[in-house]
Structure formats: structure tokens, C-alpha cells
Amino acid sequence: MGKEEKEKIKELEDRMRELEQQIQEKEIQSQFLSKMADLAKERLNIDVRQFEEKAKEELAKANKKK
């Protein structure tokens, strides 16, 4: 294996580590937001997920009109 190939492999491995880190961060963020939605429902009687569904429906309607 040549020097250029080894450098390319190292670059790809580094990029893979970066992407894995981003995935982990997004997973933590997703879990946090899910827990916050649960707490809002439990303690404040606000169904955040219901708002999300309504927003998705409105967005779908707006996209159909285009």
C-alpha cells in the first residue's frame, strides 16, 4: 500500500470518528428532547408531541399547494 493510500485511509478513519461522534451527540439530544416532552406532558399537561404532529400536517398541506 502506497503512502497516498495510507493517508487517504487515515483521512477516512478520522472522518468516520467525527461522524460517529456527531451521531452520538444527536442521539443524546434526541433522548433529552424526548424526556423534556415527557416532563412537559406530565408536569404541565402540555402535549408537545401533539404540536409536532399538527406542524407536520400543516407543512404537508402547504407542500401540496405548491
Q: Which amino acid is at 63?
A: N
Cell numbers of 6, please? 495510507
Tell me how far CA of residue 53 lies from CA of 48, 58, 60, 66, in angstroms: 9, 9, 11, 21
Domain definitions of the chain by residue range: 3-65
Residue 50, C-alpha cell as written in the block: 401533539
Per-residue pLDDT of the chain (66 residues; tens, 9 = 90+): 899 999 999 999 999 999 999 999 999 999 999 999 999 999 999 998 898 888 888 888 888 876
Evaluate if pTM is beyond 0.85: no
